[in-house]
């Protein structure tokens, strides 16, 4: 395996890790957004909150949403993941690399740090690490558990909140549109209670 192929494999893993971080962040942001809008709306509907409390809840929602954007989307997208970081993560997952992969990546990406190191040794380390990655499923270092957890919790949370809201509306004698069942609609668009 050549230097370019080895770096290409590691760059591919880095791209997938970034995509997974972005999906995880979007899932968590949607979960926060769903909970942030539905829970105050349900509380306001059931308890008829006063205006200042509604304003405080809206400001708190905006603050939580801003923090969630910063924490779950901006910081992970902005984080730098170097090829050295990917190599170290792979070595932690696959101990059989025995520090060869990180050394090879370091030799390839930082040629100025090779002063006093034999070029034959550098070529041999790169060739050895390339051969040792041949049969190893390198993408196993990336787990979908956290990403699928974020997306699944958002979906389940949205569905359960919608069910709770529908149950609360029906329990209070309201139709799905929020009007009392005793309200009669007339052709002119005026509602009269029976």
Mean pLDDT by runs of 10 across the 194 residues of the chain is 87 90 85 84 84 92 94 91 91 88 89 81 87 83 66 69 71 51 48 49
**How confident is the model at residue 12, as a pLDDT?**
92
- Give the integer Cα–Cα distance in Å for 106 and 192: 78
Q: Where are the alpha helices (DSSP H) in the chain?
A: 3-47, 51-68, 75-78, 83-93, 100-109, 119-132, 145-171
Looking at residue 47, its pLDDT comes to 85
Kindly state the tokens that stand for 13: 């893993």
What pLDDT is stored for residue 59 in this prediction?
94
Q: Which of 5, 3, 13 is nearest to 109 (CA)?
A: 3
Per-residue b/e over 87-110, b at no fewer than 16 CB within 10 Å? bbbbbeebeebeebbbbbbbbbee
- Looking at residue 118, its pLDDT comes to 84
In angstroms, how far is CA 127 from the centroid of its own chain? 36
| Global pTM exceeds 0.75 | no
Q: Minimal CA–CA distance to 135: which of 107, 96, 85, 106?
A: 96
């Amino acid at each position: 395996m050549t230097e370019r192929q080895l770096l290409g494999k590691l760059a591919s893993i880095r791209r997938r890790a970034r995509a997974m971080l972005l999906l995880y962040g979007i899932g968590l942001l949607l979960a926060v957004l769903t909970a942030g809008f539905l829970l105050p709306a349900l509380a306001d509907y059931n308890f008829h909150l006063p205006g200042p409390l509604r304003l405080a809840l809206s400001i708190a929602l905006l603050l939580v949403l801003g923090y969630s954007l910063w924490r779950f989307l901006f910081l992970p997208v902005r984080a730098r993941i170097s090829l050295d970081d990917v190599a170290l993560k792979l070595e932690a997952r696959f101990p059989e690399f025995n520090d060869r992969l990180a050394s090879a990546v370091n030799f390839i990406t930082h040629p100025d740090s090779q002063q006093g190191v034999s070029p034959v040794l550098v070529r041999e380390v790169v060739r050895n690490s390339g051969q040792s990655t041949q049969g190893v499923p390198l993408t196993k270092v990336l787990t979908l558990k956290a990403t699928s957890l974020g997306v699944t919790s958002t979906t389940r949370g949205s569905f359960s909140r919608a069910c709770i809201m529908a149950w609360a509306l029906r329990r209070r004698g309201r139709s799905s549109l929020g009007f009392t069942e005793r309200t009669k609609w007339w052709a002119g668009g005026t509602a009269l209670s029976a």
